[in-house]
Amino acid sequence: MSKFVIEGGTKLKGKVNIGGFKNAAVAIIPATILCQGKCIIQNVPRINDVNVLEEILTEIGADVEFLDDMSMSIDATDLHSCYLKNGLSKKIRASYYLLGAGLGRFKKASTLLPGGCAIGERPIDQHIKGFEALGAKVDITPEGRINVQADKLIGNRIYLDVVSVGATINIMLAAIYAEGKTVIENAAKEPHIVDTANFLNSMGADVKGAGTDVIKINGVKELSGCTYRVIPDQIEAGTYMIAAAATKGDIIIDDIIPKHLEPVTAKLKEMGMGIEEYGDSMRIFYERELEPVNIQTLPYPGFPTDLQQPMTVLLSSLNGESIVVEGVSEDRFKYVNEIKKMGANIDFTKKHAKIEGTNKLMGTVVQATDLRAGAALIIAGLVAEGLTEITDIYHIDRGYEHIENKFMNLGAKIRRVKEEI
């Protein structure tokens, strides 16, 4: 087990390069099994979720190798089934995409129920509704194994009862070879939906409308290999933006798509941060005392739920009151108990937090309860007085590449300490 030890009080300065988007890469990698041919995926983030997918694909028989630090070659030509035997599928959320991709390619697939961040109930009823609408039978065993199987997949019209990123992508994957046209209504519009659709189209699929709430998929007969570059991680970029604000810093964030960051940029400007955008990079700098603001997380293009936790830490380090409403995840404030140990003054329920800003957080020992909670605790540690120790940082490694090196390059005093068990 490792932990991070952070000495607070440094203003971030310098430049950080953003990696490929976790939530796009973890959809695109499973989607490669739809094609017979080799795919080269570039700008793959070096995170543990990707390592788990590499293991899963290898286990089911795909030929997977890293060509260099950020490019992955995947050839699933010789794959004959998509049955995930062991517990790897429980280690990450995105293993659910092997259901859609396996169903699409082999008309059947089997995984255990997915894992992922503990942020409340995370049902997959909309994924199942979509698979069934295409003609599949879905069975979940008492042990938590999901089996999907179809004699034939036929395009259909599917209206999602809730806007779901996972269900939108999974139905797209399952429908790629379905006979006729599939229409997903009330689809999610996140940039990774568009990226996955672009990847599928690069292999020869016919997906239109990704990025709007109606996606149309015309079934095709075959897909072939391609080379594709994953978009930059807007959640990683947003994390460094918020860290720059919290530490009163001045940094350049490189390799981004500023458009994807608009909801975050707008809030940070409203608070008083200076932001200059230049093509694929931005400078974000502290100009004047930041003002508290209210936030509500919403599906894209609203403020992303995956940045709610870092933002709550920033708000709790300011003077004044703010309200954060969680409009996407079912229960994403549990980590607040950890920042309260550092002196934050926050009342919260499952969906709502009232923050009485206190610009005095104090270092102590805290536990990363999930991926973004871990990132939020790093930011808390950077602004706190004294030393902060963050345990259970394996959650952070699921989704942030080289995080301590990137923060160290910005001047932060952070180190990873390996603990003897």
Ligand X SMILES: CC(=O)N[C@H]1[C@@H](OP(=O)(O)OP(=O)(O)OC[C@H]2O[C@@H](n3ccc(=O)[nH]c3=O)[C@H](O)[C@@H]2O)O[C@H](CO)[C@@H](O)[C@@H]1O
Ligand Y SMILES: C=C(OP(=O)(O)O)C(=O)O
Binding site for ligand X (CB under 6 A): 23, 26, 93-94, 121-127, 162, 164-167, 188, 305-306, 328-330
Q: Are 182 and 153 in contact (CB under 8 A)?
A: no
Residue closer to ligand Y by CB (options 108, 332) is 332
Is 310 among the residues that bind ligand Y (CB under 6 A)?
Answer: no
Distance in Å, CB of 285 to ligand X, minimum: 28
Residues 367 and 391: beta-carbon distance below 8 Å: yes
List phi, psi (to 5°) of 296: -130, 125
| Element spanning 372, H or E | helix 371-383
Residue 164 CA to residue 149 CA, distance in Å, equals: 22
Going by the DSSP 8-state scheme, the letter that residue 17 receives in this structure is E
Distance CA 150, CA 157 (A): 17
Judged by beta carbon, residue 93 or residue 105, the one nearer ligand X is: 93
Distance CA 173, CA 93 (A): 16
Locate all alpha helices (DSSP H) within 89-233, ordered by sequence. 97-106, 125-133, 165-175, 191-202
The DSSP secondary structure of 219-240, one letter per residue, reads --S-----EEEPPB-HHHHHHH
Q: Report whether 191 belongs to an annotated binding site.
A: no
CA distance linking residue 421 with residue 4, whole number of Å? 16
**Residue 48 interaction partner, one of ligand X, ligand Y, none, beta carbon < 5-8 Å per kind:** none
Considering CB under 6 A, how many residues would be counted as binding ligand Y? Answer: 11
Q: Nearer to ligand Y by C-beta: 79 or 193?
A: 193
Residue 42 is labelled as binding a ligand: no
Shortest spacing between CB 221 and ligand X, in angstroms: 29
Shortest Cβ distance from residue 305 to ligand Y (Å)? 7
- What is the closest distance, in whole angstroms, from the C-beta atom of residue 243 to ligand Y in the complex? 16
Active site residues: 117
Cα–Cα–Cα angle for 295, 299, 300, rounded to 5 degrees: 95
> Which C-beta is closer to ligand X: that of 93 or that of 108?
93
Q: Which of 10, 93, 3 is nearest to 374 (CA)?
A: 3
Q: What x/- string results for residues 361 through 400 when contact with ligand Y is judged by CB under 6 A?
A: ----------xx--------------------------x-
CB of 319 vs ligand Y, minimal distance in Å: 28
Closer Cβ to ligand Y, 306 or 401, answer by number: 306
What number of residues does the chain have? 421
Which of ligand X, ligand Y, none is residue 372 near (CB under 5 to 8 Å by kind)? ligand Y
Annotated binding site for phosphoenolpyruvate: 22-23
Annotated binding site: 22-23, 93, 122-126, 306, 328
Q: By the criterion CB under 6 A, which residues form the site for ligand Y? A: 22-23, 93-94, 116-117, 119, 306, 371-372, 399
